Amino acid sequence: MENNNHPVLVIMAAGMGSRYGGLKQMDPMDDRGHLIIDYSIYDAVQAGFREVIFVIKEENKQIFKERIGDRISKNVKVSYAFQRLNDLPAGYQVPEGRVKPWGTGHAVLSCFFAVNGSPFAVINADDYYGRDAFVKMYQYLAKNADDKKYRYAMVGYRLKNTVTENGYVSRGICEVNGQDELVGIQERTHIEKHPDGIVYTEDDGKTWTHLSDDTVVSMNMWGFNYSIMQELLSRFPAFLDRTMKENPLKGEYFLPSVVEELLKEDKAVVKVMTTPDKWYGVTYKEDKPVVEAALKSMTDRGIYPPELLD
């Protein structure tokens, strides 16, 4: 069953970039001033997307408009949704001293009205995903409406293609069944590349566990029908109740956690589409030259035109 509405691209750009040290989404990656998001949007447009919603902090709207929104708006419809700390259900207040955004689930919920009932893909602003991922996601969203279950999707990457030489990363380790459907995701918050392979720790480095290079991981590239919005909305109070007690200043409403709840309740099927492409991102300042070199090489090889969507 096909979706009637055209898929929309939601770009989460309200994070703080604490490990990187600054608003890394706005860091130029080539000599024309393009950002990582420019490459993602170019790939998305080639795949069929015609509308982009940036989820940002309200105070950053002007810089986003100047640096990217106005520039690409002749090729793609651009709108903005604001992830506000005080955007909470009635009866809830921001804990004193909290400055951290409420996480990816809350970021998507910020687009409740902007998405306007359409199916949509979600990506991070500071990650490079590759053309293949956008093609697969657009085609899935255009063709798969909800039926007896929610029909969602995720693009999975090989772990070896998503680690950095410059420190640790956090990745969602995916369990996938024989039908390429997601069974569950385990968030590993400290994964490193060691000389003898890729490892993770859960006890600050006292013990390390090896992971296979080909482990499928989530890079937060999701595809949803609009039904996810109601689920995010209805589950948010329970998250807040728990977080206000356990971790009021740092607790986050994670999108994968809500997806996992829906899987456990047998309400959703999540198709996992793997890509051989290499992920690039700037988790650390030292990652930037690596990303710049990769994007330059792809431009030199003709994968990208120098002007992108300018």
What CATH number does the domain located at 8-153+216-263+272-300 have?
Answer: 3.90.550.10
CB atoms near residue 99 (< 10 Å):
9
pLDDT in tens, the chain (310 residues): 667 679 999 999 986 444 444 555 678 899 999 999 999 999 999 999 999 999 999 988 888 898 899 999 999 999 999 999 999 999 999 999 999 999 999 999 999 999 999 999 999 998 999 999 999 999 999 999 999 999 999 999 999 999 998 899 999 999 999 999 999 999 898 999 999 999 999 999 999 999 999 999 999 999 999 999 999 999 999 999 999 999 999 999 999 999 999 999 999 999 999 999 999 988 888 999 999 999 999 999 999 999 999 8
> What residue has token string 């120098």?
306
Q: What is the pLDDT of residue 187?
A: 86
Q: Which residue in 230, 243, 289, 2 sits closest to 108, CA to CA? A: 230
Helix (H, G, I), strand (E, B) or coil at 187: strand
Return all residues near 283 (Cβ < 8 A) that are at least 6 apart.
19, 20, 164, 166, 167, 169
> 182-194 and 169-176 as β-strands: parallel, antiparallel, unpaired?
antiparallel
> Could you give the CA distance from residue 160 to residue 130 in angstroms, rounded to a whole number?
15
H helix runs in the chain, sequence order: 36-47, 61-64, 70-72, 104-109, 131-143, 227-246, 255-264, 288-300
DSSP conformation letters of 65-94 = IIIIIHHHTTTSEEEEEE--TT---TT--P
Spatial separation of the C-alpha atoms in residues 192 and 3, rounded to whole Å: 40
Q: Output DSSP code: residue 161.
A: G
Q: Are 239 and 253 in contact (CB under 8 A)?
A: yes
Alpha carbon distance 240, 247 (integer Å): 10
Cβ-contact 2, 143 below 8 angstroms? yes
Nearest to 207 by CA among 194, 220, 221: 194
